[in-house]
Structure 1
Amino acid sequence: MSTPAGDRDDGSYSDAVAPYEDSGPSAITTPDSDQHSAPDPEAVRDTRPAAGTTPDGIAHTKAAATWTGLVVGAIVLVILLIFILQNLDAVPVEIFVWTFELPLGVSMLLAAIAGALVMALAGGVRILQIRRAAKRK
């Protein structure tokens, strides 16, 4: 097999890669040994932000979380309104024995609301189970 010009295929190492030399196990040092000293406790300081603050030191408040939730909710509502307005074609909806026509966007919104209510019901039942279990202990 041929190699590109300049490549060596004689098994030797190139100048950029040195072979691994096994110098044996390295000595284990302890903080009170002569080879290694323990860090100065005064010099080591915690650089993590305090609980409830962001990395730049600004406190995280309930008002900020509420505002963020409202902005995200408003954006979702605008997107939902655009979706409903773009899907105004009437489609037949059949529920058990009833049949009626609704715009496609509205029918999908109602289906999403029904799914959210089912999930809220399931979550509520689970919360009640956990509360009962906690009261027994």
Structure 2
Amino acid sequence: MAWAGVWAAALVSVAFIAFMPQNTTATQVSFLGVHGTLPLAVAMLIAMLSGILVTLVLGTACITRLRRLANRRRRQNR
């Protein structure tokens, strides 16, 4: 299963590397009151990395909660 994740990440990375030089047009970006101009590829990279970070944080919290619940149930059944 881990290798499938590695391959998926590699394919997404290759696709994004091909995407970046084709999308260098400046784009207006506004976020939480901050306004600026970025190349579209950079804005997409920031969005992708933010999504990955949010997924990792929420996934870790969920797995931690489930492990604690499993440990509690295991202790109760002894």
Count of aligned residue pairs for this structure pair: 73
Taking only the aligned residue pairs, the percentage that are identical comes to 36
Q: 1:123 to 1:69 in 2, by over 3 A?
A: closer
Q: Identify the residue that residue 133 of structure 1 maps to in structure 2.
A: 69
- The answer to whether structure 1 residue 108 and structure 2 residue 44 are counterparts is yes
Relative to its length, the structure with more strand (as a share) is 2
**RMSD in angstroms over aligned alpha carbons?**
2.2
TM-score by length of 2: 0.74
Structure with greater contact order relative to length (CA < 8 Å, sep ≥ 6): 2
TM-score, normalization: structure 1?
Answer: 0.45
C-alpha separation in 1, matches of 2:8 and 2:68 = 34
Deviations 1:103-137 (A, max 9, x none): 11110121121112112111111111111112212
Distance 1:121 1:135, change over 3 A: same
Question: Which structure would you say has the larger Rg?
Answer: 1
1:116–1:72 distance in 2 versus 1, CA, 3 Å: closer
Offset at residue 93 of structure 1 (A):
0.9
Cα distance per residue 1:59-92 (max 9 Å; x no partner): xxxxxx7777655544432221110110000111
Higher helix content, 1 or 2: 2
Q: Which runs of 4+ in 1 moved over 4 A?
A: 65-72
